[in-house]
Amino acid sequence: MIEIIKGFLIGAATGAGLAILGYAKAYKGEKKEDLQWEKMVYSVIVAAIVGGVSEALHISPESVELKMAEYGIISYALESGAKAIVRFAKSKGWI
């Protein structure tokens, strides 16, 4: 049980860190965006749930990283391919 709670806490801290990084990334000199608390809360909650469930199911971070990389590459390839097809079709006037 302690491991699961630890997983939730580590996940929540990770989500908060990533939300802060996202806010910092959006900073554009004089044009800075306001911190969107709702998005930050979602990030913290989702990361906490992922951390707790991962600990409960004994899923190692290494296997999660590997799956994320695999799915990320597949998703990126499919999305880029679809965009390329649509852009090509638009350039030919087919769409």
Extents of the domains making up the chain: 1-59, 61-95
Whether 20 has a pLDDT exceeding 90, the answer reads no
Cα–Cα distance for residue pair 13/18, rounded to 1 Å: 9
Which position has the token pair 């998703």? 75
CA dihedral 64, 9, 2, 56 (to 10 degrees): -30
User: What pLDDT is recorded for position 29?
Assistant: 63
pLDDT tens for residues 49-67? 888 888 898 888 778 778 7
Cα–Cα distance for residue pair 37/23, rounded to 1 Å: 10
**Which pTM value belongs to this model?**
0.60
